[in-house]
Structure 1
Amino acid sequence: MHYRKTLITMASSALLFGLGYGPAGEVFAENADAQSAVKPAIKAEVRLIAQSGEASAKAKAEQELKKFKNLIDLQQKALSEKFKPGEIRYVYINDKEYHASPSSTLFASNSYRITYKTYDEYAEKYAAGNTAMPLRLQQQPEGYNLWIAEIAPYLSEKEKAKISNQVIAEGKASGKKIYVKKLQEKRTAVHLIYNMTSEKNGKRGVLGIIAEPAGPNDKTVESEPVMAQSEKLEVGGQEVIYTPIDNMEYKSVAWMNPQTRVNYIIRETRGHLTKEAMLALAGQIIAHYS
């Protein structure tokens, strides 16, 4: 049995696969080229880059999908056309033979997003005037360089799952080979994505620092659920949840600001930051909005 995936470029999952970007701060949408199907607890922001070196698997998939090139080209064309602010776009290939291929994807999606290539530009052009969702650092993470800062429309994990099912059902019933579904979303999320400046033990870590809106009834951070090994700690008067997953070389710190209803998540995979360093990063963000 093969495990088929959903093709997405929403938020940082696309940039972790190295998609092209224009000048810093340019608003645009790029063709989908990333495969991502991860459990909510292990987010794409800090995992996919470690998986993207599977060149042989990618080559095999490309070979298998050659016969569907026309359909895939139409899908990518629909994903690359101009986006309106807040738009999220889903594209479904309605072809049974295509979906019978182990290398096919359930559907593809892309969204409007604003990107910055340097932290200073992000801080000056976006974060400086954003009091609703403050995400600022006094010092950049040691041993890391910012890869990209991205502001994109936000959907919760539950909302994504619901819309995914809708896209597939509507696409199958549409009678169209290429089915396009467009949504407008006012909520946004902020992603700061960092790469380690050098390898450690043959690995190069990735760090994601995220701010996203909490749901009206959420009691904890929906996109980073509490696990058996999670610890409740206090940083700067704020309760945070620290979660290590050693066999995946993953760790996170997550918390909700109850006043602003903003969730914050710091995620690192295959990196060098200690628990204390992760908590210190959380402390910088908490101190800024306190």
Structure 2
Amino acid sequence: MHYKKMLIAMASTALLFGLGYGPAGEVSAENSSAQTAAKPAIKAEFTTIAQTSEASAKAKAEQEMKKFKNLIDLQQKALSEKFKPGEIRYVYINDKEYQASSAGSSISGATYSIRYNTYNEYVEKYAAGNTAMPLRLQQQPEGYNLWVAVIAPYLSQKEAAKISNQVIAEGKASGKKIYVKKLQEKRTWVQLIYNMPSEKNGKRGVLGIVAEPAGPNDKTVESEPVVAQSEKLEVGGQEVIYTPLDKMEYKSVAWMNPQTRINYIIRETRGHLTKEELLALAGQIIEASA
């Protein structure tokens, strides 16, 4: 078994800014050779401005990283120390100047996890003897290779958000520059993450299969909410929810096993599997976990 730490949801979010040029920004005029010649020059100028702005922002971020190097080093040190089984660790940087900068997120977290790099290793060392949370496939998804199988402590999205807010409040009140909170969690979740070894139709998809405990009062899969595009279907006697989000190139199948109170979610982004293939994959898991 390989014990490593995985960063969880409190990592900083990257924002992408675009600079465009089009008809709305052009002056209305009659066609002429002078106007035609001017357009490439205008667009080149906008490109230069965008590149200059990007370089300036990058230089500023690098400068701020150097300025707060000590705080960032202390944060990483707290996250890299040895974890106990079931441990979830949060680290909060309690520094107003750092929080006002673009140097990074003020709160981050990591968790104890077990990782397997092949499906056979995962089955032999974990899944074969695990009846509490079975996640087995009779056939591997066509066109995909397993990237990693991960077993880690589980928190629902609501629980993670609540604890994150709690850590921030405690960190601010602590008076410490670096505030560390450690939690022990008995619940676990399993993730099988696949990727495509090569592009298909110019895309390289990612497929994730998750088994996680349902909440005591949950009637649906909380981590994969039902939306307008969702469909209720039946696979192997089990009700499942199929959700396609075409604009995001995303689709999923989710269901709850009512006997074991385990949620299963199959998620594919930019992938090539059809609706029927995803449902067939769900059928494998439903049969194996019955």
TM-score, normalised with respect to structure 1? 0.81
Rounded to whole Å, the distance in 2 between the matches of 1:229 and 1:57 is 42
Structure with larger Rg: 2
**Between 26-35 and 145-154, the greater mean CA deviation after superposition:** 26-35
The correspondence of residues 1-290 of structure 1 with structure 2, limited to 5 A, is 25-29=1-5, 35=11, 61-290=61-290
Residue 58 of structure 1 deviates from its aligned partner by 11
Residue 49 of structure 1 aligns with which residue? Answer: none
Q: 1:59 to 1:111 in 2, by over 3 A?
A: farther
The structure with the greater share of residues assigned to helix is 2
Root mean square deviation, CA, Å: 2.3
Q: 1:63 to 1:287 in 2, by over 3 A?
A: farther
Tell me if the contact between 1:112 and 1:152 (Cα under 8 Å) persists in the aligned partners. Answer: yes
Tell me if the contact between 1:28 and 1:82 (Cα under 8 Å) persists in the aligned partners. Answer: no
Q: 1:161 to 1:197 in 2, by over 3 A?
A: same
1:227-278 CA distance string (max 9 Å, x none): 0110000000000000011111010000000000000000000111111111
Rounded to whole Å, the distance in 2 between the matches of 1:190 and 1:165 is 26
Letter in 2 for 1:268: E
- Unaligned stretches of 5+ residues in structure 1: 1-24, 39-54
Q: 1:75 to 1:233 in 2, by over 3 A?
A: same
Residue 32 of structure 2 aligns with which residue? Answer: none
Tell me if the contact between 1:207 and 1:266 (Cα under 8 Å) persists in the aligned partners. Answer: yes
Residue 32 of structure 1 deviates from its aligned partner by 8.0
Residue 27 of structure 1 deviates from its aligned partner by 1.4
Equivalenced residue count is 250
Tell me if the contact between 1:32 and 1:76 (Cα under 8 Å) persists in the aligned partners. Answer: no
Residue 4 of structure 1 aligns with which residue? Answer: none
Residue 7 of structure 1 aligns with which residue? Answer: none
Counting aligned pairs with the same residue, the percent is 78
Residue 37 of structure 1 deviates from its aligned partner by 5.4
Rounded to whole Å, the distance in 2 between the matches of 1:32 and 1:70 is 22
Rounded to whole Å, the distance in 1 between the matches of 2:169 and 2:266 is 35
TM-score, normalised with respect to structure 2? 0.81
Tell me if the contact between 1:255 and 1:265 (Cα under 8 Å) persists in the aligned partners. Answer: yes
Per the alignment, in what secondary structure is the counterpart of residue 65 of structure 1? Answer: helix
- Unaligned stretches of 5+ residues in structure 2: 15-53
Q: 1:36 to 1:190 in 2, by over 3 A?
A: farther
